[in-house]
Amino acid sequence: MVEPPRFAVVGRVNKGKSSIVATLAEDPSVAIHARPGTTRICTRFPVEVDGEVLFELVDTPGFEEADRALDWLENEAGGERPARVRALLRHFVGTDDFIEERTLLAPIMDGAAILYVVDGAHPFRSNHKAEMEILRWTGRPGMALVNRIGPGDHTAAWLDALRSRFDVVRVFDAHTADFTDRIELLQSFRTIDPAAAPAIDRALDAMHGERRRRRAEASLIVTDLLVDALTLTLTEAALDAEAIEQRRAALEERFHDALRTREQDARRRVERLYNHVVAWAEGELDRPVLDADLFAERTWDSLGLSDGQVIAVTTGAGAVTGGAIDAAVGGASFLAGTAIGAAVGLIGGLTRLGRRYATAGPTEKLGALGRAVGVGDTGKPWRIGPHQNPNFGFVLLDRALLHYRSVAGRAHARQDHPTLDAADRISAGLPAELRRALGGLFERLRREHADVDRETRQRLNTRISGLIDALDPAGPGELPGAASDGEPGV
């Protein structure tokens, strides 16, 4: 079996070495320090797929005394350059001299390739030359990465200085690098370390396979969420209509909470899939990762379909229309009945769609309020749900896709919280045919809520996986073109 290649990430303290390790290893547990740390040890981070180590990254302490170490190499040691570096490692064993240098050079002399990290936000200074020179003396293949921490930009000067000393020089941003950047970085190593090429090729294959597997898994998670949320019903004890009305707000909250929980669970699963689960500190896990709550008005104003598109989808699919007016609850966010019943017509439909997130059904329609399992008879339990708003599935889908895209494209070095790009109505930009297909499937789920057939689930998953593939920041595809069907966009 081929040894997995090893890369030692070296440079000065606080230049983003650990951040680069975190991003390349997809490991948010790498210690990243906002202030110069005093790590004096190397830590190895293996990159594995299916239990096989593909390559290994070594996080190292920063250079401290490069000038003096180079001076020693030049004047005190003898022999070939790599032999002199080895002599330095041996000579100071058990002393406090050159601890950082010896610690970071050890894995390199032991066969690791070099990833030299500099901060492009700060100027190149001649005292960096000693570090580069020592690394060159190791005789190991090396690549330099310019990572910018902060607003300054001295990248051009750095590139000049680095190109004369390293086989490959790249700009690599630990905070924004995505899967494609990581792949390209590995590919560069192929060219400078031919001995490692077969192992790197296998690593590249495995990483692509893993990325595909994750997309397929993410599609299933989002499909499950939609099926669960669109078919959700709760049962409330037998109460008379008056008692139900009094508890209306509480019931709605209970229903919404159950939906929120499902959404949160799906998000956690997607985050885990992409190794992001530990990025959120204890306690913060409960906080929605993307700002607005599922039932915040802001969410409904900026996601899902426009009212006009909803009408088109529902009429086109013969979906929510069709006479099931028995239990209209006026665009309410819960309870049985149709948000826009057959009799409602376009104008009424739009008015009702305005009430997207809160229950506002008139009291006289209370009979609909839970469409009791036995249609409102006292003495029988009430059924709450499924959610009747025809836009609900689209809002949920948009939120799931935005969350997925932000997680799948997120560098593991980042410690901030991702935010929702609320301006991005993904559903609204899909071709009308696709919107109608999705609307039809959503309606079918609502209708079959008690017993969803496999085929409906599979058809939904096919559509979702097309979207997931297209939205993978490192994925193979583009989203189907923007809507061009002349339907009202607002």
Ligand X SMILES: Nc1nc2c(ncn2[C@@H]2O[C@H](COP(=O)(O)OP(=O)(O)O)[C@@H](O)[C@H]2O)c(=O)[nH]1
CB-neighbour burial class of residue 264 (10 A; exposed 0-12, middle 13-18, buried 19+): middle
Q: Which is nearer to ligand X, 145 or 227 (CB)?
A: 145
Smallest distance from Mg ion to CB 152, Å: 21
Q: Which is nearer to Mg ion, 61 or 393 (CB)?
A: 61
> What DSSP state is assigned to residue 356?
-
User: At residue 238, what is the residue type?
Assistant: A
* Ranges of H-type helices in 232-344: 241-246, 248-273, 297-302, 307-316
**Token duo for residue 111:** 């066969």
**Interacting partner of 408 out of Mg ion, ligand X, none (Cβ under 5 to 8 A depending on kind):** none
Cα separation, 22 vs 415, whole angstroms: 11
Q: Which is nearer to ligand X, 59 or 252 (CB)?
A: 59
Q: Does 18 bind Mg ion (CB under 5 A)?
A: yes
> What DSSP state is assigned to residue 330?
S
Smallest distance from Mg ion to CB 18, Å: 3
**Interacting partner of 61 out of Mg ion, ligand X, none (Cβ under 5 to 8 A depending on kind):** none
Cα separation, 181 vs 453, whole angstroms: 41
Q: Which is nearer to ligand X, 124 or 295 (CB)?
A: 124
**Interacting partner of 14 out of Mg ion, ligand X, none (Cβ under 5 to 8 A depending on kind):** ligand X
Q: Where do contacts with ligand X occur on this chain (CB under 6 A)?
A: 11, 13-19, 32-34, 37, 62, 147, 149, 173-175, 413
Residue the block writes with tokens 């009979």: 367
The residues, any chain, with a CB within 8 Å of residue 237's CB and separated by 6 or more, are 381, 382
**Interacting partner of 341 out of ligand X, Mg ion, none (Cβ under 5 to 8 A depending on kind):** none
Smallest distance from ligand X to CB 141, Å: 21
Choices 13-21, 44-52, 94-102, 294-302 (CB under 5 A): range interacting with Mg ion: 13-21
Cα separation, 339 vs 354, whole angstroms: 11
Cα separation, 380 vs 364, whole angstroms: 20
**Interacting partner of 107 out of ligand X, Mg ion, none (Cβ under 5 to 8 A depending on kind):** none
Choices 17-25, 77-85, 163-171, 234-242 (CB under 5 A): range interacting with Mg ion: 17-25
Q: Which is nearer to ligand X, 181 or 443 (CB)?
A: 181
Smallest distance from Mg ion to CB 415, Å: 13
Within 20-59, the residues that bind Mg ion by CB under 5 A are none
Q: Which is nearer to Mg ion, 45 or 357 (CB)?
A: 45
Gyration radius from the chain CA atoms: 29
Torsions phi, psi of 213, nearest 5?
Answer: -60, -40
Cα separation, 400 vs 265, whole angstroms: 11
**Token duo for residue 34:** 């906002």
Cα separation, 218 vs 275, whole angstroms: 13
The total of other beta-carbon atoms located within 10 Å of residue 251's CB is 22
The total of other beta-carbon atoms located within 10 Å of residue 203's CB is 23
Q: Which is nearer to Mg ion, 174 or 313 (CB)?
A: 174
Number of residues binding to Mg ion, judged by CB under 5 A: 2
Q: Which is nearer to ligand X, 60 or 306 (CB)?
A: 60
Smallest distance from ligand X to CB 151, Å: 9
Smallest distance from ligand X to CB 21, Å: 8
Q: Which residues lie near Mg ion (CB under 5 A)? A: 17-18
